[in-house]
Amino acid sequence: MRILLVEDNQEVLLETKKEIEKITGKDSVITACSKESACTVIKDEFFDLIVLDLSLPTINEGLDADVAHGQAVFHYCLSMAPGTPICFLTGSSTHRFVNQLLNAHANRQDFWGQSELNTSPMVFQKINLDDFLEHLKQCSSKLRNLADIELRSVKAGGALAVEEQRLLKMFTIKLSGASCKWQDLNGGLSGVRVLSVEVLNQHDSSLFKAVARIGKRDKISLEATNFDLMVPALTIGTFPSKLLCLEYGAKSSAAIYYRLANDHTSNLSELLLSSPELSLTTYQKLKEIFSVWGEGCYRTRKTIGELRSCLVSDSKLARLKNTYELSWLEDIEDLSVSVKWGRTHGDMHGGNVLIANDYAPLIIDFGDLAERATSLDPCSILLSPFFHLDTAERALESLPKEDLIRSIELLNCGTNSPLAPFFNQITEWISEECSRSERSIYASILIYVIKQLNYPDTNKDVALNIISVCKERILSTI
């Protein structure tokens, strides 16, 4: 167990640390003596429990100790480590902030995956240290149970961050497992790690197979909400069932788990690049899946600026304009286009489409679900192979940059590339969504590609060449 103890009184600090380590073990307690030092270590390190004094100075050995500084550290914890339980160990029993704290922030959650709710924050009196130590014993026992869970990488050299380890162990213990095997799946560019996980019992027999998506807590929480609101409208069998969403216990990280069928062993990106002809069956099925969402869509006119804001915010666009000389966008953002508006996935690259043995697609990653122009999803399907880090190099070998740019100019791939049937099928899908409006088609492609400029590892040369084509085509419609 790893504990942060924040206390400015050195005598109290050393004695409390000594008592805590009798329970949690030597060197299990990290100490801080001020607002500044506490915030620094909270930002940089992972803790199972944070123990705060109410009154702190701003800096070590400072003479300005005040409850306001303890309160500031508490709110910093809520910002930087919202999933970490907190205890206050205070010499005051009557300070108004204590009551305000409990009324506004008391939270009962399962922080260690064992179906027992723990309150955070909790307030203990220094004069009754035994009460706190008894609570600590209970927490320590739960952490020992987690420590017994074994994590095994399927592929040699795999590594997990501390937060990721915690979330996998919590998932395993919640499903009554003894160990968990994991491996990376191709993920997106949004900072979410996608893992295939298998929970095993004490006899090493499989209990569950799942897809884990691990990322920042606010993004994972939004994905869980989106799933509940929008995904059930799709045909049963085209999306995985949601098993669990774990938002507490791993600092600022969270995880959502989807049940994985045994035969979903690959994804659409890999299928496209290894067997392009077979991928066409999957793409046709994928189009049929999205047609279900399309039943609630409607035709309308939006400005190109309104479409762009669906994927790229005004603030991000301002930075991109300065970096890539895109000030000309101001000339076209007020132009209107005809679009079909409705529910969209928002991140439809091949890594988010798992493939079964019969090439039936299973859609994952629902963090970007929203109503927007429906043409943006097939644009992602069309172009993501050329931008995604896991596929870009191989995709551009199959359809070199010059051929790709020419194909976008013509909205048709006439080369002998093995990707030509894929390109033409998806381009036709985009055209249908845009009612064959050239302005709408190129506006949709433009917006998707501008988004790719935000990511550090995308091919900027390819992106800027496609943007140049879109610019010319859109301006020709004025």
Query: What is the residue type of 300?
Result: T
What is the structure's pLDDT at 74?
93
Question: Do the beta carbons of residue 445 and residue 437 sit within 8 Å?
Answer: no
Pair 33, 10: CB distance under 8 Å? yes
* Domains recognised in the chain with CATH numbers: 3-146 (3.40.50.2300), 148-259 (3.30.200.20), 266-475 (3.90.1200)
CA angle 285, 274, 357 (to 5 degrees): 45
On the question of pLDDT at 118 being above 80, the answer is: no
How many Cβ atoms from other residues are within 10 Å of residue 329's Cβ? 17
Chain CA centroid to CA 117, Å: 25
Question: Pick from 175, 159, 198, 62: which is nearest to 113 by CA?
Answer: 175
Query: What pTM did the predictor assign?
Result: 0.79
Digit-coded pLDDT (tens) for 57-102: 999 988 888 889 999 999 999 999 999 999 988 876 655 566 556 6
Identify which has the larger pLDDT, 109 or 227: 227
Provide mean pLDDT across the span 439-457.
95
Q: Give Cβ neighbours of residue 206 (< 8 Å, ≥ 6 apart).
A: 198, 199, 200
Read off the pLDDT band of 472 (50, 70, 90): very high
Res 425 pLDDT > 70: yes
So what's the pLDDT on residue 156?
A: 82
Most confident of the ranges 131-135, 191-195, 295-299: 131-135
Tokens of 98: 């204590």
Task: Find the range with the poorest average confidence among 120-124, 316-320, 384-388.
Answer: 120-124
Q: Write out the DSSP string of 219-288.
A: HHHHHHHHHHHHGGGSPTTSSPPEEEEE-SSSTTEEEEEEE--TT--EEHHHHHHH-HHHHHHHHHHHHH
334 pLDDT above the threshold of 90: yes
CA 179 from chain centre, in angstroms, equals 24
Q: CA 162 to CA 449: how far, in whole Å? A: 34
Q: Which has the closest alpha carbon to 85: 117, 120, 113, 132?
A: 120
pLDDT greater than 60 at residue 188? no
Contact 310, 372 (CB under 8 A): yes
Distances (CA, A) of 377 to 100, 274, 341, 345, 399: 47, 22, 12, 7, 21
In the sheet that holds 242-246, the strands lie side by side as: 150-153, 179-184, 193-200, 206-216, 253-259, 242-246
The pLDDT value given to residue 328: 93
Q: pLDDT digit string (tens) for 375-389?
A: 999 999 999 999 998
